[in-house]
Amino acid sequence: MVCVNGGQSRDVPGTWSASLEWLVERLAPDQPSLAFAEVRYRIKSWKRLEMCIEDAAAAVAAVTAAGARRALLLGFSMGGAVAIGAAGHPAVTTVLGLAPWIPDRLDLSGLAGRRLAVLHGAWDRYLPGIPGVSPASSRRGFERARAGGVEGSYELIPRALHPIAVRSPWGAALPAPRAGCWAELVGEELARFQASEG
């Protein structure tokens, strides 16, 4: 599983994601047959989307070079667009978007023959000073993929906001409200991914 982080408008160096870190810490012990990797962008900005997609594609190439036969791309927020952009690699079978940004201009052709699963917090939205992605936006992107023949599923998480976890001042990943529900649903998608191995 290759984890792909969100971003922001300013050009800043890539950092690890509190949301993805928290999820992997919860899920990895129950998934001993899966390897987990996280993309660290050179620059984590949606204004550098193509560069971020290159970084994710390089990560998929690295995990396949290390022996992975199949890959699931898990993209959080902007990472949803990045994961979709990198999905054309032959090893990728599934893209799992968590509160994914799927802009209308994004080319979805890399999803052909792959599964797109979207989980989104029902209360997610942009607020002043707080990043967010509207569920209506991700739903529009998901429906565009489905109209193109992509298999998939879309699920809203009641009362969930944008982050799954936040970074504390001392560096720990702290769960946001409904984090346990996110983890449960991501775990179900991982089980589906493993069961689909042919």
CATH label of the domain that carries residue 115: 3.40.50.1820
User: pLDDT higher for 7 or 111?
Assistant: 111
For residue 11, pLDDT over 80 is answered with no
pLDDT digits (tens, 9 = 90+) for 12-59: 677 888 999 999 999 999 888 899 999 988 888 768 789 999 999 999
pLDDT digits (tens, 9 = 90+) for 104-127: 999 999 999 999 999 999 999 987
For residue 197, pLDDT over 80 is answered with no
**pTM to 2 decimals?**
0.94
User: pLDDT higher for 32 or 96?
Assistant: 96
Q: What is the 8-class DSSP label of residue 51?
A: H
- 18 contact partners, CB below 8 Å, separation of at least 6: 163, 164, 165, 166, 167, 173, 174
Domain range holding 77?
Answer: 2-195
Instruction: Give the total number of structural domains in the chain.
Output: 1
